Amino acid sequence: MTVIITASVHQHMLDTLTRQGYTVVYAPNINYTELIEKIGTATGIVVTTRLKIDKAVIDAAKNLKWIGRLGSGLELIDTTYAASKGILCVSSPEGNRNSVAEHCLGMLLSLMHHIRRSADEVKQGSWKRDENRGTELSGKTVGIIGYGNTGGALTKLLSAFDVTVLAYDKFKNDFGSPLVREVNLDQLCRYANIVSFHVPLTNDSFHMANDEFFSALKQKPYIINASRGSVVDTAALLRALDMEMIAGAALDVLENEKLETYQDAERLNMDNLLSRDNVLITPHIAGYSQEAFYKMSAVLLEKLKIR
């Protein structure tokens, strides 16, 4: 039995697989072509968001029994075709949901209280107090779009802030509780002071945050995206910022995260975003805490019944 690991994983996964008799091919830098060449004898494969597991890969994997996704979202895996071949596909969103939620909250608080901006000013020898007067999160209305693992984890954290949480999920209902009110998208856009996206990337969610969406916002909210970059239309986001339709944006994901491949238009948009005090961008690290690094492996192994 052979397992190909295509990403950096916690030692717990390597040790557990080896103990259970698997031959582990640890190849965190393997590319698509190399994967097709090596996958023929593999029983399992562990992936993240770096490689697409499409029909060509699956056809080359004559002995494949399972595909394990570290973290959330299976959009890069042709799950329908895999299922037709009897291949089990599992993910581990439970492993990094708390990390993502904490990161979103941290970015939001940094924007609302001008933490990053004022800290940078102090480094430059400037001590500005009135100009950096913050806005409290307490008492605000937070809208969560996509109420799965990370949306639920963020709601739990927000419960300490005396906020009203509104949540919209196109594919779920009857999830309301004392902590969260289930609403439609129009209601969320009308009342939310903060909007946080927690959806997988699908045809429905691609450029969900577009010009029409931003025009529907009534409270000039902060926008948070730690889901998938293409959920937010970057050009529309810039227009919303220019027109002061939103208070700011916290982005842990981008439409194109390979900065070295940027064309002129992408570079101009990125420079535009980075020039703004009310925009905070981090390099897709929301779900990448030390604890999540272990838990994603542990959850995946548990779901695969490899102990």
Q: Which helix (H) or strand (E) holds 88?
A: strand 88-91
Q: Is 294 exposed, middle or buried (0-12, 13-18, 19+ CB in 10 A)?
A: middle
Of 40, 297, 77, 295, the residue nearest 306 (C-alpha)? 297
pLDDT for position 181: 97
Instruction: Please state, in angstroms and rounded to a whole number, the distance separating the CA atoms of residues 26 and 38.
Output: 12
Please give the pLDDT value at position 191. Answer: 98
Question: Is 48 exposed, middle or buried (CB count within 10 Å of its CB: 0-12, 13-18, 19+)?
Answer: middle
- Asked if 107 and 222 touch (Cβ cutoff 8 Å), the reply is no
Determine contact, residues 222/249, Cβ cutoff 8 Å. yes
Please give the average per-residue pLDDT across 184-205, as a whole number. Answer: 96
* Structural Rg of the chain based on CA atoms: 21
Report the C-alpha gap between 27 and 9 in whole angstroms: 10
What local confidence, expressed as pLDDT, does residue 73 receive? Answer: 84
pLDDT digits (tens, 9 = 90+) for 128-163: 999 999 999 999 999 999 999 999 999 999 999 999
pLDDT tens-digit readout, 228-285:
999 999 999 999 999 999 999 999 999 999 999 999 999 999 999 999 999 999 999 9
Segment 174-189 mean pLDDT: 96
What does pLDDT average to over the chain? Answer: 96
Whether the pLDDT of residue 100 is over 90: the answer is yes
d(CA 96, CA 98): 6
Write out the two tokens for 165: 């949480």
H runs (alpha helix) in 89-226: 93-112, 115-123, 149-158, 185-191, 211-216
For range 115-125, the mean pLDDT: 97
Tell me the pLDDT band of 177, cut-offs 50, 70 and 90: very high
Plot region of 107 (φ>0 → left; ψ -120 to 50 → alpha; else → beta): alpha
- What's the pLDDT tens digit per position in 27-73? 999 999 999 999 999 999 999 988 999 999 999 999 999 999 999 88
Q: Which residues are catalytic?
A: 228, 257, 284
Residues 178, 116: Cα–Cα separation, whole Å: 33
Token duo for residue 191: 């009342």
**pLDDT at residue 50, rounded to an integer:** 87
Residues 6+ apart with CB under 8 A from 11: none
The type of residue at 236 is: A
Tokens of 73: 């979202």
How many residues are listed for the chain in this entry? 307
pLDDT band at 13 (very low <50, low <70, confident <90, very high): very high
Cα separation of 82 and 64, whole Å? 9
Residue 117 has pLDDT above 90, yes or no: yes
For the cut 90, the answer to whether the pLDDT of residue 96 exceeds it is: yes
Q: Is 36 helix (H, G, I), strand (E, B) or coil?
A: helix
Structural domains of the chain sorted by starting position, each given as residue range(s) with its CATH number in brackets: 2-91 (3.40.50.720), 96-281 (3.40.50.720)
